[in-house]
A and B are shown apart, each in its own frame.
Chain A
Amino acid sequence: MNLAATGMAAAVAIGLMTALIAALLPARPALIGTGTALTGAAAVAAGAAALAGGSFSVVLPDVLPLSGVSLTLDPLGALFVAVTGGVAVAAGIYSVSYADTADLRARGVQTALPVFVVAMVLVPAAANVGTLLVCWELMALASLVLVVAEHRRGPRVASAGRWYAVMTHLGFVSVLIGLMVFVAQAPDDSFTALREAGRQLSPAVAGVVFVLTLAGFASKAGIVPLHAWLPRAHPEAPSHVSALMSAAMVNLGVYGVVRVGVDLLGGGPAWWWLLVLALGAVSAVYGILQAAMSSDLKRLLGLSTTENMGLVLIGVGAAGLFASSGDHALAALALTAALLHLVGHAAFKTVLFLAAGSVLHATGTRDLDALGGLRPVMPVTTAAFGVGALAASALPPGTAFVSEWLLLQALIHGLPAGGVAAAIAMPVAVAAVALTAGLAVATFVKAFGVGFLAKPRSDAVVDAHESPLTMLAGMGVAAVVCVVLALWPAGILPAVQAAAGGVAVSGDVILRLDQVTGALSPLLLALGLVAAVVVVAGVVRTAAVRRVRRTARLWDCGGGPMSARMEYTATSFAEPLQRVFDDVVQPELDVDVSHHQESRYLVQAVEYRRKVPDRIERRLYQPVLRLIAAWGRAGRGLAPGSVHRYLGYGFYAVCGVLILLAVTR
């Protein structure tokens, strides 16, 4: 047994053991959290070992009926195993004190956490369709239990759970049908057999398989228009679960697309990848636009997940497009950028969700308009969120900056690569990435500035306190990874390129693109920025000491101290953006002015309400939901509760079948 196999075995064994303990013994969040973290650590070790060249495969025919369990850890799967493991380490440590509440101590919830992690670790290691689907479903079920863990908090949790349950299962059905069509063309359901069969598939069948699996996997990745569950389930889930879902689970949707589209089906025509690219671009822009409008901290983070998965899909789509036109070097670059972004996203989204959970833990609210002033009371959480926000903003020195820069390089150099389609798609994709990056900066400035700085906007914040040590440690681990990834991406690039199956970037401190001209050094850039800040600060300081200092009151229009109600809120911060994108987001505004009784000229109160509905959801989902409801109502007429009638149905149905048989035989 090599290290990868040992790590995998350890991860599964520790995870299942932890689940068993959670199921049998009274709640011990410390034990379960530690077990989950150890599971994650073992998975990281397994993934790293496999990426370093020690892949393994194992077949256990008796564990499952029919084709049995078959696991393989190749570099592509290993990257996802390692990322999932990393997120689980941070979330596990964090949950030691976070999950110590009445709702989260429930036995089912405690059991579901390690099961969820084990299932997520097994999905990318699955080497046949049976194993993949079983683990996929296990992952969905375990996460569903976790999403509704705090159902006592209100009906919104239950509603989020329903949305999640329905959409994840529709996605599952889509993947299932797609893979069944595929397996029907192959001798058995192992990936090796499928890989063989995939090369000989007729274009129509391959297209059907790809589109069906894409729909299912995209819904897991929260891609527009199948994203409706994501902004519901991610905010309502407990925060360490949000982190696991948003940083690890959604990745597996991308894994599915790459595994089936690139690996098993062996590429495919350009239109597949143009479809992926388009879905990615729409998701990126739409996700971040909705996030920019949102004033619920966790919803904002959830929508930003849609955005980031969109960016990853842009990379995947571009890679597929380049590969279909024979430019494998650029394809490797695009896929490297996509996977690097995925890894970076996992790191910063973990920090952000854990920090948001820490805020929720301390203040009981995630409404940005009620937060603010957290810096003095929660310095560590503020710092962690700051690191995450910078990483998510695609600004140097941040994690997303490096990957988005690589992505842009691939897209820009792809212009001459792939004929007319690429000539149209690439500039649009570049614009989408650029717009997304800009809006992401605005979104995270809002989240950090309004949420943590300035004065407290409500009483909830006034008696906030810093979170317990284990929660800080969980955030700290992820924040350190963020910083390392941002400053020294070369540390992870070999692993990412092994997963992407091609070398496109080299260099240690300075990253050089191999096929096209381009170089970037995140570390030197960061040092330069620090040096520039020091120089500016020094100059200002020396200039300032020569002047006489005068302390003056803050200018408040002379009217007395400013109250917290006069601060910039998340809603007002987003207002200009909302105006610019008025036609896209179509907000619903409601202004109510009430006058004094004595005079119509004196205003007593002005009430302003703004809601930014999800337009895609409204256009696409509401009609379907209405149709289903109408169908249900129509069906109700058939079931009035009369026993005679039901007996009659049975009788006529049997008669009908008999007649049918008599006629057809």
Chain B
Amino acid sequence: MLSLWRKIRRTGRVAEPAPPLPDGERPERAAVLGGSVQIRHVDAGSCNGCEVEIGSAFGPVHDGERYGARLVASPRHADVLLVTGVVTRNMAEPLRRTFDAVPAPKLVVAVGDCARDCGVFAGAYGVAGAVRDVVPVDVEIPGCPPRPEAIVEGLRKLTGR
């Protein structure tokens, strides 16, 4: 316990200074959320590259939570679905059901090139399509994988903070 405190004291604050609020229009429904956005992440068929970046977007350096975005454990608790990867045939129906399980008003963020337009997996036999072919998408974050800064920027469009 004491060593933990010591570590915390020695390390200090590592978060990057907050970059200015990104411009670009904010989806209308996001305004209802009042700056607090609960996010459920769904891996619809990613290579896990995007997951690593999401992990660091919510790590101590980029600290996505200070802008009001928070990862939660169930779509029932969420306002937003964060979908990564192409939608594989096996995940198309579960993704649709997950979307149905999120209480309205709800938004979908597609993270990574795969989620936007199938990226390097386009045309593969197990692929059902991009995320927007299965559920309506509100925000897209490009990159393969997108940098954590880009993910944070995409989420700040929703929180408006």
CB distance from A194 to the nearest CB of B (A): 65
Given contacts A552-B100, A552-B101, A553-B100, contact A558 B76 (CB under 8 A): no
Q: Which of A552, A553, A558, A559 has the most CB of B within 10 A?
A: A558
0/1 per residue, A538-559, Cβ < 8 Å to B?
Answer: 0000000000000011010111
- A555 near B93: Cβ-Cβ < 8 Å: no
- A558 near B74: Cβ-Cβ < 8 Å: no
**Which A residues are in CB contact (< 8 Å) with B94?**
557-559
Q: Which of B74, B93, B97, B100 has the most CB of A within 10 A?
A: B97
**Would you call the interface of chain B mostly helix, strand, loop, or mixed?**
helix
CB distance from B128 to the nearest CB of A (A): 14
CB-nearest residue of chain A to B93: A558
0/1 per residue, B87-102, Cβ < 8 Å to A?
Answer: 0000001110110110
CB distance from B85 to the nearest CB of A (A): 15
Q: Does B75 contact A (CB under 8 A)?
A: yes
**Which A residues are in CB contact (< 8 Å) with B76?**
555
Size of the chain A interface, CB-CB below 8 angstroms: 6
CA distance A555 to B98 in the complex (A): 8
**Would you call the interface of chain A mostly helix, strand, loop, or mixed?**
loop
0/1 per residue, B64-75, Cβ < 8 Å to A?
Answer: 000000000011
CA distance A132 to B97 in the complex (A): 71
CB-nearest residue of chain B to A556: B97
**Which A residues are in CB contact (< 8 Å) with B74?**
555
CB distance from B105 to the nearest CB of A (A): 13
0/1 per residue, A136-175, Cβ < 8 Å to B?
Answer: 0000000000000000000000000000000000000000
CA distance A555 to B100 in the complex (A): 10
0/1 per residue, A558-584, Cβ < 8 Å to B?
Answer: 110000000000000000000000000
**Which A residues are in CB contact (< 8 Å) with B95?**
558
CB distance from B40 to the nearest CB of A (A): 11
CB-nearest residue of chain B to A557: B94
CA distance A557 to B74 in the complex (A): 8
**Which B residues are in CB contact (< 8 Å) with A558?**
93-95, 97-98, 101
0/1 per residue, B42-83, Cβ < 8 Å to A?
Answer: 000000000000000000000000000000001110000000
**Which B residues are in CB contact (< 8 Å) with A552?**
100-101
CA distance A559 to B94 in the complex (A): 6
CB distance from A551 to the nearest CB of B (A): 11
CA distance A555 to B77 in the complex (A): 11
CA distance A557 to B73 in the complex (A): 11
CB distance from B129 to the nearest CB of A (A): 17
CB distance from A258 to the nearest CB of B (A): 54
CA distance A553 to B75 in the complex (A): 13
CA distance A557 to B75 in the complex (A): 9
CB distance from B72 to the nearest CB of A (A): 13
CB distance from A559 to the nearest CB of B (A): 6
**Which B residues are in CB contact (< 8 Å) with A557?**
94
0/1 per residue, A498-516, Cβ < 8 Å to B?
Answer: 0000000000000000000
**Which B residues are in CB contact (< 8 Å) with A555?**
74-76, 101
**Which A residues are in CB contact (< 8 Å) with B93?**
558
CA distance A553 to B100 in the complex (A): 8
CB distance from A566 to the nearest CB of B (A): 16
CA distance A559 to B75 in the complex (A): 13
CB distance from A89 to the nearest CB of B (A): 51
CA distance A115 to B97 in the complex (A): 64
CA distance A555 to B74 in the complex (A): 9
**Which A residues are in CB contact (< 8 Å) with B97?**
553, 558
CA distance A650 to B140 in the complex (A): 103
CA distance A450 to B75 in the complex (A): 27
CB distance from B93 to the nearest CB of A (A): 7
Seed contacts A557-B94, A559-B94; 6 additional CB < 8 Å A-B pairs: A552-B100, A552-B101, A555-B74, A555-B76, A558-B94, A558-B95
| Interchain residue pairs A-B with the least CB separation, the first 9 | A558-B94, A558-B97, A558-B98, A555-B101, A555-B76, A559-B94, A553-B100, A552-B100, A552-B101
- Using a CB–CB cutoff of 8 Å, the interface residues on chain A facing chain B are 552-553, 555, 557-559
Q: Please name 17 pairs of A and B residues whose Cβ atoms are closer than 8 Å in the assembled complex, sorted by A.
A: A552-B100, A552-B101, A553-B97, A553-B100, A553-B101, A555-B74, A555-B75, A555-B76, A555-B101, A557-B94, A558-B93, A558-B94, A558-B95, A558-B97, A558-B98, A558-B101, A559-B94
